[in-house]
Structure 1
Amino acid sequence: MPRHLFIPDFYLHTGMDAEDERKGTHFTPETPGYLDAVYSDQTLVTQFIEYNGWPWPTSSSTAPSLMLRMLQDLHVHDGMTVLEVGTGTGYNAGLLSQRLGADRVTSIDIDPELVALAGPRLQEAGFHPTLAVGDGRNGFPEGAPFDRLIATVAFDQIPLNWVQQVKPKGVIVCDLRHGGAPWSGALAKLEVGGDQTASGNLLACPVGFMSARTQVGTPGTSSAVSIDKTTCHGRETRVGGSSAMSPGLALSIWQRIPNLVVYPGEDTFTIVSGDSWAEVSLHEPTQVTYSGPEDLWAVVEETHAWWRASGQPEVQRYGITVTPDRQWVWLDTPDRPVAV
C-alpha cells in the first residue's frame, strides 16, 4: 500500500531548525527527505486546528508498526466485514481494503474534510470502501452487524453502540486512553458476547492515538484547567511523580480518578481533578502540595499501595468488560475491578 498517496503533506519535528517550533517542519513532495520520512516508522501529523491560540494536532498517519500491530490483533479472515472508526488519511482503510476487498470495509470520521480527502486517495490506490461522516461513538448502524471493529483514535470508554453493532464472537480493537493522561492507556481487545456484552484483555501500548473529538472545531485532548494556589496544604509522601507514571499504576490511578488531568514538568508532577490538585517532585520521598475539597495525592498513595500489594502488575494483567449497564477495568478477572 503506497503510503505517500495518502500523505501528500505533513508536519514533523526533525531536530533541525523547524519552520514552526510548535508544529515542526512542513513536508511536501518537494521537501528534501520527504519520501524517507513518509516511509519511516514515524507518526506524521497531517492536520492542526487553532484552538485557544494554539495549534492542536487533530489528525495524523500513525507509525506503521503500531497500525500493523492493531491489524494483527484484529485478526481478520476472508469474507469478514470491518468498521473502522477514524478514517484520518485513509491509509488504514486502504490496508483493510487490500486484505478483505473494499466492499467489506466501512470507515467513519467526525471530520468531513478528512473524509473528503481520503476518498480520492483511496480511489487512486484502486479502492472504493464505504466512507461516512459522523461521530464514531455511534458506530455505523446502516452497515451493521460487522465482524470486526477497529478504532484508530483514542477513546476513554468503549461505546455500547460498538458492542451492539458487532456480531457475537466478533472482535473490537480500540486504543483506550484518557486525553488528560495519555500514558495511562492501553490497547483494548474485546470479544463480543451474544448478550450485548464484550470483554477482553488490555495490551501494553505506551504511545497511542490522538483523542477522539466530540466536535470538529475542538481538539479531543482535555483543555487546560486553572489551579487555585491561594490556600495550600503540605505533607510528606513516599510516592513521587515518577512512580505514578509506571504504566500499570498509571492505568489504575486513571480508573480511580476518571477526570484526571496531568501536567508533568522537568522535575514536578501535577495532577488536577475538578477543584482539587496536587503537586509533587518526580523523586521520592518528597513533599506533596495540595488543595481543594479532596486530597488527590492520597488517592494516588492508596492506589500505589494496592498496586504493590497486587504484585505491581503490568498492563497485560488488566482487562475491560462492557455491559449495557456499565463498564469497568479489572485486574486478572472481571470480578476484581480496579476502581472501588
Structure 2
Amino acid sequence: MDWETHARRLADEVVRPESRWYGPLATTPRHLFVPHWWHSGERGWELRDGQADAERWAEAAYADRTLVTRVGALHADDAEPGTVAQGFPTSSSTLPGLVVAMYRHAMLTDDCRVLVTTGSGYGTALMCRRLGDSRVTSVDVDPQLVKLAGDRLDGMGLHPRLEVADITGPLPGEYDRIISTVSVRPLPASWLEALRPGGRLVTTIAGTGLVLTADKGPGGGAVGRIEQAPAGFMRTRSGADYEPMTAAVWAVAERGDGEEVTTDRYPLLLPSDAWDVMSMLSLAVPGVECRSQEDGESRTVWLLHADGSWARATATSFLGSPTVHQSGPRRLWRELERIRNRLNRSGTLPVYGARATIAPDGTVVLSRGGWTATV
C-alpha cells in the first residue's frame, strides 16, 4: 500500500500545510493501527479485514472518520472472519480531525509533558510525532488495547510511556496537559492533582457534546470554558463492557401506556440530533438515554433513565404533533419541553461558551448569564 500518499491527502483535508499537525498526520501510518474494524451494517457490526481488501483498507484508514475497533468485549483483531457483533462500541480510532481539534484545545508548547488516552494508539502516535515520545504518557483501562498499541508504536520506532490505568483514578505522574478522548462525568479529582500549576485539561462531559477546557489555578481548582464547537466520545468504563443501565426500563417503555398521555406542541425531535438540546437535557437529567425508530412515515423517540423514568413520543408526519406517553418518578419529556421552550424564546441555549469553574474535588459549575449547572 502506498500509504504515504493517502496520509498526505488526509493531512491536506484536516489541516493547512503550515500547521504543526501537518507533519504528524502526513507521516503516521494510520492503517497499521486499524488492521481490522467494525462496520455498521443491517445485521449488526460487520467485521472488516484490511489485508483482505487493501483498497478498502486504505480508503477507510485515511478518511477523516471514526473506525470502531471494539464492540462490547470483542476486539476486531480477535474476531473470526464473517463475524457479526451486537452491542455498543467500546473502543475506536477516532476521526483524525477531531483528535487534532482536541489537541489544539490543549494549547501545547514544545516542552509540555502530556497525558493522552490510548484507544487504537493512533492519537498517541500523532502526539509523539508532535512533541517527541519522551514527553508523552498514554493510558487505557484495557490491557489488550495498551499491548496492541504498544506493539504498533514500537514498530514505528515510537516509545512513549504506556500504562494500564483507569483514567478516573490516580494517574501515573504529573503533567502540563491532560487530554482525554474518552468522556467523563464527574471530572476526576485526580486530574487536578496530576496537573502542574498552570496546566490545562481538555475533555468532554459524558452524555453531552460539551468540550471542556480548563487551566489549573493556584488554589488547586481550575477555571475554563465550554468550547463553541461540539464533540462526542465514548464514556469511560471500568470493565470489559458498559453496564446495561436501562434494559429493564426499556422493557416497559417500548410499548407501555404509562401514567400520563399528552400531546407535545413541538414537532418530534430526537435530542441526540441537536447537540445543544442533548447537552442541556443531559445536564438536567444525568444518565438520560435516547432511542428512536422509524416505521414508514411514523417516527418514535424514547427517553429512558435507570431510575425507572421513561417517555415515548410518536408522530405520524414530519411536522405533526407527537403523542407522548410518560411514566416513572420524573417526566422526561417535560424536561425536554422546558429546554425547547427556552430555545424558542431566546433563539439559543447557554451551554456553548459557558464559563467553567472547577473545585479541587472535581465539581464543575457551568454558568452563562443567569444560567448555571453543576456537573
Give the TM bin, normalised by the shorter chain. 0.7 to 0.9
What's 2:312 paired with?
279
Q: Deviations over 1:210-263 (max 9, x none)?
A: 221121x22378553424326432122214441745322221111111121111
* 2:186 aligned counterpart, secondary structure: coil
Rounded to whole Å, the distance in 1 between the matches of 2:356 and 2:292 is 27
Task: Determine helix, strand or coil for the equivalent of 1:119.
Answer: helix
Match of 1:67 among 95, 99, 119: 99
Q: Percent identity?
A: 30
Are positions 1:6 and 2:33 aligned together?
yes
Deviates more, 1:242-251 or 1:286-295: 242-251
Out of 307, 317, 324, the position equivalent to 1:288 is 324
1:312 matches 2:336 = no
Gap change, CA 1:79 and 1:323, over 3 Å in 2: same
Structural RMSD (CA): 2.7
The answer to whether the aligner puts 1:48 opposite 2:48 as a matched pair is no
The alpha-carbon distance between structure 1 residues 299 and 47, as it changes in their structure 2 partners (threshold 3 A), is closer
Residues 103-162 of structure 1, C-alpha deviations (whole Å, 9 max, x = no match): 11101100000011111111111111111001111251x311x10001111223321111
Letter paired with 1:293: P
Match of 1:29 among 51, 58, 81: 51
Q: Is the 8 A contact 2:222 2:360 kept in 1?
A: no
Cα separation, 2, equivalents of 1:240 and 1:290? 17
TM-score (norm 2): 0.78
Find the residue that maps to 1:281 and give its secondary structure: strand
- 1:336 is matched with 371
Asked if 2 retains the 8 angstrom alpha-carbon contact of 1:269 and 1:281, the reply is: yes
Quote the Cα distance in structure 1 between the aligned partners of 2:194 and 2:39.
Answer: 37
Structure 2 letter corresponding to 1:110: V
Q: In the alignment, which residue of structure 1 is the partner of 2:9?
A: none
- Letter in structure 2 aligned against 1:41: D
Is 1:106 the counterpart of 2:137? The answer is yes
Q: How far apart are 1:7 and its partner, in Å? A: 2.0
Counterpart of 1:63, as a letter, is L
Q: State the shift of 1:303 in Å.
A: 3.0
| Structure 1 unaligned regions, length at least 5 | 179-183
- The residue that corresponds to 1:143 in the other structure is 173
What corresponds to 2:263 in structure 1? 236
The yes-or-no answer on 1:168 pairing with 2:197 is: yes
SS at match of 1:153: coil
How many residue pairs get aligned? The number is: 324
- In 1, Cα distance between equivalents of 2:163 and 2:364: 30
TM-score by length of 1: 0.85
Give the letter aligned to residue 3 of structure 1: R
Q: Residues 29 and 35 of structure 1 are in contact (CA less than 8 Å); yes or no, is this contact kept in structure 2?
A: no
Aligned partner of 2:210 in structure 1 is 186
Q: Closer, same or farther in 2 for the Cα pair 1:26/1:185, shift >3 Å?
A: same
Contact 1:247/1:315 (8 A) holds in 2: no
Shift of 1:66: 0.8
